[in-house]
Amino acid sequence: MKAGRTPLVVLALLAALTSLVVIASCGGAVRRATAADFPPGSTMARIRERGVLTVGIKFDHPLFGFKDPAGGRITGFDAEMARLVAKDITGSERDVRFIETMPRNREQFIEQGTVDLVLATYSITPERAARVGFSDPYYYAGQDILVRAGDRAIRNVTDLADRKVCTATGSTSAERLRARAPGAEAVIVNTYSECVHALVSGRIDAISTDDTILLGLMSLRPGSVRLVGKPFGREPYGIGVRRGDTVFRDYLNGLINRYLHDGQWDRAFRDTIGAAGADPEQAKPSR
């Protein structure tokens, strides 16, 4: 009996191995087995079927979401987080499509289904949560001030009275600036790249927004601008999804928790915003 069964077992094993080789050669890589376990009809299942994750991200935010003008690659901490999510859902970090997203259209892009999620220094607020869903915080930023390198008159938020201070429309930074520096003249623009040009040229006196954004702007103008280093607010960043999509939100929460514990968050931080001097102890959420 044993002699008769052995060839059948060997043939079965060879057939299984052959199938794996065929799958690998045709698809380039064997997909994660867990991908097939997504709930039918869930956002993850639809993304997996489509084969690409669409992500709303900033293109003008160095160290978080920035489009390289030479090669077109999107770099930064948010971009790395998006690639981690894409890899978990589709099996490859390359299966991601980035769509430029600004503060004024983040909610609209989520509601209209233009993107699957938004990863764009997206602060969690009650007003926004009335329109979209948020994951747990994956990053904490502090609102600070950027001035010209030689300006020593502005040392904290109280020194912004009667100054022209730039920030972006639709941001929580604009609201906090009005509350903490009511005497400042707020200059509201669409993108922070407009702010830095105005600052260096002398048309405004300061920029106030999240320190993550300000550090990125500093990297574009080394020696021309400096960070005041006196944060006056703390911002929790979350991943934005369609409101009511609790299955997708809970799935993302699980991924964030894993990244915070398995070293992937630390690697993404070290290679991006950490290289500019951000403090991981202040930025990393505790779980």
> Is a pLDDT exceeding 70 seen at residue 11?
no
- The predicted structure's pLDDT at residue 285: 96
Three-state SS at 70: coil
Residue 181 corresponds to which tokens in the numbers above?
Answer: 């520096």
Q: What is the pLDDT of residue 37?
A: 79
Mean pLDDT to the nearest integer, 13-41: 50
DSSP, collapsed to helix, strand or coil, labels residue 210 as: strand
Name the band, by pLDDT with cuts 50, 70 and 90, for residue 23.
very low
Residues of the chain with CATH 3.40.190.10: 33-138+238-283, 142-233
Question: Which pLDDT belongs to residue 277?
Answer: 84
Mean pLDDT value of segment 184-197: 91
If you average pLDDT over residues 273-277, what whole number do you get? 90
pLDDT at 154: 97
- In the prediction, which pLDDT does 36 show? 63
* pLDDT range class, residue 171, cuts 50, 70, 90: confident
Instruction: Return the higher-pLDDT residue of 220 and 88.
Output: 88
**Residue 1 — very low, low, confident or very high, per pLDDT cuts 50/70/90?**
very low
Given this model, what pLDDT does residue 82 score?
A: 98
- 136 phi and psi angles, rounded to 5 deg: -65, 155
* pLDDT over 90, % of the chain: 75
Model confidence at 44: pLDDT above 90: yes
Sign of the torsion angle spanned by Cα atoms 145, 150, 151, 155: positive
What average pLDDT does the chain have?
88
As a whole-number percent, the residues of the chain with pLDDT over 70 amount to: 87
pLDDT in tens, 246-266: 999 999 999 999 999 999 999
Distance CA 239, CA 264 (A): 17
Specify the pLDDT at position 25: 36
Q: Tens digits of per-residue pLDDT, 195-242?
A: 999 999 999 999 999 998 899 999 889 899 999 999 998 899 999 999
CATH number of the 33-138+238-283 domain: 3.40.190.10
The band of 8, judged by pLDDT with boundaries at 50, 70 and 90, is very low
The answer to whether 105 and 169 are in contact (CB under 8 A) is no
| Structure token digits, residue 237 | 């960043």
- Least Cα distance to 270 among 257, 250, 284 occurs for 284
CATH class for the domain made up of 142-233: alpha beta
Question: Which residue has 């935010």 as its token pair?
Answer: 61
Res 114: pLDDT: 98
Going by pLDDT thresholds of 50, 70 and 90, the confidence category of residue 5 is very low
Q: How many CA atoms lie within 13 A of 97 on its CB side?
A: 10
> pLDDT at position 127, please?
94
Residues 67-84: tens digit of each pLDDT: 999 999 999 999 999 999
